[in-house]
């Protein structure tokens, strides 16, 4: 008697990528989202790291594979390979570091050159917990840049757990909506192909 195939514990597997300059808080955002923890100690990601998080979105069980990339220039060639197959990208800058904000344009170029066509992107303004005097990138500046690239914008704080889960889930929802749309389109095309009458079967 054959053993029944074990039922998959998720409906969709989704690959997300965190990118942005070194020190903007990508690893802290991932730790907060995946493990509900935060550390103020600065951890440099060497090359690439990833975590798994299971979530439920719109009644579907989703296994998220979130890749955290190194921001340093010397790791760029390693991380390029990880763009392929990513369905969603979280582009992160630090509101207290103007250079990281300016460099968003360069990162967007990297996405254009390396990521799959139609990849979903959101822009995250991280470290909004800093004191007002330390903040150099305003909310309106962030919103304007997001509008320029046609992407959603979230202000986040890994330290205060502000908008972290919300941003990851918003991106995942957009990806699942696209998957559903694609499936419906494929079904429609299949129906049209087979609906001409006089089929062979």
pLDDT recorded at residue 4: 56
pLDDT recorded at residue 25: 92
Greatest C-alpha distance within the chain: 74
Of 182, 174, 184, the C-alpha closest to 57 is 174
In a domain, 159, yes or no: yes
pLDDT recorded at residue 200: 45
In a domain, 82, yes or no: yes
- DSSP annotation of 2 reads P
Whether 91 contacts 104, CB under 8 Å: yes
Whether 87 contacts 67, CB under 8 Å: no
In a domain, 22, yes or no: yes
Q: Give the span between the Cα atoms of 174 and 164, in whole angstroms.
A: 16
Beta strand segments in the chain, E: 12-20, 48-57, 60-69, 88-94, 120-126, 152-155
Beta pairing, strands 120-126 & 60-69: unpaired
Q: Name the domain count of the chain.
A: 1
42: tokens are 């600065």
pLDDT recorded at residue 197: 46
In a domain, 175, yes or no: yes
pLDDT recorded at residue 164: 97
Count, residues in the chain: 201
Helix axes of 76-83 and 104-114: crossing angle, nearest 10 degrees? 50
For residue 164, what are the domain limits? 12-180
In a domain, 107, yes or no: yes
Name the strands in the sheet holding 120-126, side by side, starting at the edge strand that comes first in the sequence.
48-57, 60-69, 12-20, 88-94, 120-126, 152-155
Q: C-alpha distances in angstroms, 179 versus 38, 59, 76, 119, 176? A: 32, 15, 29, 12, 5
pLDDT recorded at residue 74: 47
- Give the CATH number, domain containing residue 127: 3.40.50.300
In a domain, 197, yes or no: no
pLDDT along the chain (201 residues), means of 10: 64 92 91 86 57 89 88 54 88 97 94 91 98 97 98 97 96 90 58 51 39
In a domain, 75, yes or no: yes
Reported as a single tens digit per residue, the pLDDT across 22-40 is 889 998 999 999 988 887 6
In a domain, 2, yes or no: no
Beta pairing, strands 12-20 & 60-69: parallel
CA dihedral 110, 117, 178, 20 (to 10 degrees): 0
């Amino acid at each position: 008697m054959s053993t029944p195939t074990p039922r998959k514990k998720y409906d969709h597997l989704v690959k997300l990528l965190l990118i942005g300059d070194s020190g903007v808080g990508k690893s802290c955002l991932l730790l907060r989202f995946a493990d509900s923890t935060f550390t103020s100690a600065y951890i440099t990601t060497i090359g690439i790291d990833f975590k798994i998080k299971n979530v439920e979105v719109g009644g579907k069980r989703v296994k998220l594979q979130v890749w955290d990339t190194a921001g340093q220039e010397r790791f760029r060639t390693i991380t390029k390979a990880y763009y392929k197959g990513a369905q969603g990208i979280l582009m992160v800058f630090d509101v207290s570091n103007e250079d990281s904000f300016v460099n968003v344009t360069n990162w967007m170029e990297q996405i254009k050159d390396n990521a799959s066509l139609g990849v979903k992107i959101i822009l995250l303004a991280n470290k909004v917990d800093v004191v007002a005097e330390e903040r150099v990138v305003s909310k309106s500046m962030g919103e304007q840049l997001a509008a320029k690239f046609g992407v959603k914008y979230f202000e986040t704080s890994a330290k205060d757990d502000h908008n972290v889960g919300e941003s990851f889930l918003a991106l995942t929802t957009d990806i699942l909506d696209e998957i559903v749309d694609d499936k419906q389109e494929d079904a429609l095309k299949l129906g049209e192909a087979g609906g001409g009458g006089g089929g062979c079967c």
